[in-house]
Chain A
Amino acid sequence: MTDYSQTLIDLGYIAASILFIVGIKMLGRPERARRGNLVSALGMLIAIVAVLFECCLDFTWVITGLVIGSLIGLIAARTVKMTSMPQMVALLNGFGGIASFLVGWENFHSQPDNTLFVQVAVILAVLIGGVAFSGSLVAYGKLAGKISGRPILISQHRWLNIAILAALMICGALLIYFPPGPLLYVVFVLFMVLSLALGVFGVIPIGGADMPVVIALLNSCSGLAASAAGFIILNNVLIVAGSLVGASGLILTGIMCKAMNRSLGNVLFSGFQAVSSTAATTTVQGEPKPITPEEAYYILEAARSVVIVPGYGMAVAQAQHAVRELGEILENNGAEVRYAIHPVAGRMPGHMNVLLAEANVLYEQLAEMDDVNPIMETVDVCIVIGANDVVNPAAREIESSPIYGMPVINADKARTVLILKRSMAAGFAGVDNPLFVKENARMLFGDAKATVQQLVAEFKES
C-alpha cells in the first residue's frame, strides 16, 4: 500500500473522531439531539469505510459478519417496545463488551508472542469487555424480569468476589511472564472465564432499583474495553471513541449516584448488607386513607395545578398513554399540568422521560426535581403513579431511614397527594413510606393503568 492511501485512511479516522465528539456534544441539547445521533452515526460509517481500505481483509467473512449483525440489529431495534428499552440498552451494551473480549482473544490466538504493551492491552480488553458482557447480561435478566430483581446473595459472596479478583491478578501476571505455549493458553482461557464470572457475581447482588447506576457503569466499561482494543490494533479512532464513552459513562454514573445520595461503593456493595438494613427500619404509624376513583375525580376536577410523578410502576403497568390522556383532560379542564421526574425514577437514567415522550407528552411539560420542589406548596394535587422511594419524605425526616439524605420530590408538600399503587407493599428499597399515611394523602389502590383509565372515564362522563 502506498503512503498516500494510508494518509487518506488516517484522515478518515480523524474525521470520524471529530464527528463522534460533535455528535456527543449535540446529544446533550434537546433540540439538536436527534441530529447529533445522526452525526455520530456518520462518523461510524466513515470509520468502517476507512478500515475496509486497510490491507488484508477477508471480504467473505467481513460481508457475512456485517450482514448478519446488521439484520439482527435492525430487527431488534424495530421490534423492541419502549417499555423494554432499559433491557435493550443493557443487551446492546453487552454485545459491545463481548466484541472487545473477542478481539482480545483473537489477537492472543493469532499473535501470542506480542510486545508487552499489546499483551497488557489484550488482558485489559478481555477483562473489561468480559465484565461488561456478563454484567450487562445479568442486568438484562433483572430488567426483563428473567431473574429476580432483588439482590441475590450466595454464601460468602464478598469472599468469592475477592477470590475471583485475586485469581484474575495472578493469571494476568502469569500471562505477562510466561512464554507462549499450550500452558499459557490454558491460563488465558482461565482468565477469560474469571472475567466473565466477575461480571456475573459483581452485578447479581445489586438490586433492581440500583440498575440505573449499574447500566451507566457498564456502559462506561464497554467504552473502555473498546479503547483497550484500540491499543491492541494500535488504532487512534478506537482509543478516542472508546475513552469518550468511558468518560461519559463515568459522569452519568456519578450523576445517578448523586441522585440517590450514595457512593458508588455503596451501590455496588450494599447488597451485602441487604438483610440487616431492612430489619432496622422504623415502622410508620397511621392508617392510609383509600378512596374511590369517583372521589379522586372530584379532587382533580377542582384542581388548578397538578404535578404528576411517575415511577417504575407506570412502566410496569404500561400506563404512559393513559397518563398522557389524563394530563390532557386536566389541561382542558383548566389546570396546569407538569410531570416531575426524579433522576433515578425507573430502571434506567431518564427512563420516565422516554416513556412519556412515547406517549406524546410535550418535552416542556417534563420538569426536573429541582424545578418542581420549590413550587410544590402551591400545587393543588400531586399524582404519584407507581413511584415510592423517590417521593418518600423519610429521606428528609427520619434520620435512621436507609434512604435518609437522598434528594426526593416533595410530593407530601402539595395540598393533596393522590397515590396510585397496587398495594401497601414497601418499595424496592424495602423502606416504609410515611407519605402514605400523611393527612393530605389519599390512596387509589389497583393497577395504575386501570385506575388512570377509570379517572379518564369519570371526566368523560361528566
Chain B
Amino acid sequence: MSIGLLIFVFVLAIFLGVELISKVPSQLHTPLMSGTNAISGIVIVGALTATGSGADLLGTLLGTAALIFATVNVVGGYLVTNRMLAMFKLRGREKK
C-alpha cells in the first residue's frame, strides 16, 4: 500500500471523527469516552501481527505483552461501556 494513500486515509478519518463527535449531549461524555477508548484497543490488530513477526524470543514476548494489554483494553473497555450505558434508563420503560 502506498504511503500517500495511508496518509490520505488518516487525514480523512480525522475529519470524520471531528464531524461525528461535535454534537454529543454532555450526559453521554463518559460512555463516549470509554467507548472510543475501547476502539483505540484496535492496536490489538497490530499486537497480533507483532506476535507473529517476532524475530526472536524477545520480539515474540514484546508482541505477546502488547497483545495482553490491548486485549484488556478491548474487553474491559467494551464491557465497562456496556455496563454504564445499561444504567441510563428512559422514562416509561422502568418507571416504578
Using CB atoms and an 8 Å cutoff, list the residues of chain A in contact with chain B: 20-21, 23-25, 27-31, 33-34, 36-38, 40-41, 44, 47-48, 51-52, 54-58, 61-62, 64-66, 68-70, 72-74, 76-78, 80, 82, 85, 88-89, 92-93, 95-96, 98-103, 105-107, 109-111, 117, 215-216, 219, 222-223, 225-227, 229-252, 255, 341, 343, 348-351, 353-354, 357-358, 360, 362-364, 366, 368
- For the complex, give the distance between the alpha carbons of A362 and B90 in Å: 6
Judging by beta carbons under 8 Å apart, are A96 and B71 in contact? no
Given A62-B67, A106-B59: A247 and B27 within 8 A (CB)? no
Judging by beta carbons under 8 Å apart, are A110 and B59 in contact? yes
Name the residue of chain A whose CB is nearest to the CB of B5: A236
- For the complex, give the distance between the alpha carbons of A93 and B13 in Å: 20
Residues on A with C-beta less than 8 A from B70 are: 69, 95-96, 99
For this complex, 12 residue pairs linking A to B, each with C-beta atoms less than 8 Å apart, are A30-B27, A40-B35, A56-B52, A74-B75, A77-B80, A92-B76, A242-B43, A245-B39, A252-B21, A349-B33, A353-B28, A364-B90
Residues on B with C-beta less than 8 A from A103 are: 43, 46-47, 50, 63, 66
Q: A99-B70, A238-B43 are in contact. List 15 more A-B contacts (CB 8 A).
A: A28-B20, A33-B31, A33-B35, A37-B35, A65-B47, A74-B79, A99-B73, A102-B63, A110-B53, A111-B53, A219-B40, A248-B18, A248-B32, A249-B36, A343-B26
- For the complex, give the distance between the alpha carbons of A249 and B91 in Å: 30
Main secondary structure of the interface of A (DSSP, over half): helix
Judging by beta carbons under 8 Å apart, are A57 and B52 in contact? yes
Judging by beta carbons under 8 Å apart, are B66 and A102 in contact? yes
Judging by beta carbons under 8 Å apart, are B73 and A54 in contact? no
- For the complex, give the distance between the alpha carbons of A163 and B27 in Å: 40
Judging by beta carbons under 8 Å apart, are A358 and B39 in contact? no
B54 to chain A, nearest CB (A): 6
Judging by beta carbons under 8 Å apart, are B48 and A57 in contact? yes
Q: What 0/1 readout, one digit per residue, does chain B (1-34) give for beta carbons within 8 Å of chain A?
A: 1010010011001111110111111111111111
Main secondary structure of the interface of B (DSSP, over half): helix
Residues on B with C-beta less than 8 A from A31 are: 90
Judging by beta carbons under 8 Å apart, are A357 and B89 in contact? yes
Using CB atoms and an 8 Å cutoff, list the residues of chain B in contact with chain A: 1, 3, 6, 9-10, 13-18, 20-56, 58-60, 62-91, 94-95
- For the complex, give the distance between the alpha carbons of A222 and B43 in Å: 9
Judging by beta carbons under 8 Å apart, are A251 and B18 in contact? yes
- For the complex, give the distance between the alpha carbons of A274 and B28 in Å: 31
Residues on B with C-beta less than 8 A from A102 are: 47, 50, 62-63, 65-66, 69
Q: Which of B74, B82, B88 contacts A357 (CB 8 A)?
A: B88
Q: Which of A23, A95, A215, A243 contacts B33 (CB 8 A)?
A: A215
Name the residue of chain A whose CB is nearest to the CB of B43: A226
- For the complex, give the distance between the alpha carbons of A117 and B7 in Å: 11
- For the complex, give the distance between the alpha carbons of A362 and B92 in Å: 10
Q: Which of A28, A68, A222, A227 contacts B71 (CB 8 A)?
A: A68
Given A37-B78, A48-B48, A354-B87: A243 and B59 within 8 A (CB)? no
Judging by beta carbons under 8 Å apart, are B89 and A360 in contact? yes
Residues on B with C-beta less than 8 A from A354 are: 30-31, 84, 87
Given A227-B10, A357-B88: A25 and B20 within 8 A (CB)? yes
Residues on A with C-beta less than 8 A from B1 are: 234, 236
Judging by beta carbons under 8 Å apart, are B9 and A240 in contact? yes
Q: Which of A44, A56, A76 has the most CB of B within 10 A?
A: A44
Given A61-B60, A215-B33: A244 and B88 within 8 A (CB)? no
Judging by beta carbons under 8 Å apart, are B37 and A247 in contact? no
Residues on A with C-beta less than 8 A from B68 are: 65, 68-69, 72
Given A99-B43, A246-B14: A362 and B91 within 8 A (CB)? yes
Judging by beta carbons under 8 Å apart, are B30 and A106 in contact? no
Judging by beta carbons under 8 Å apart, are A362 and B47 in contact? no
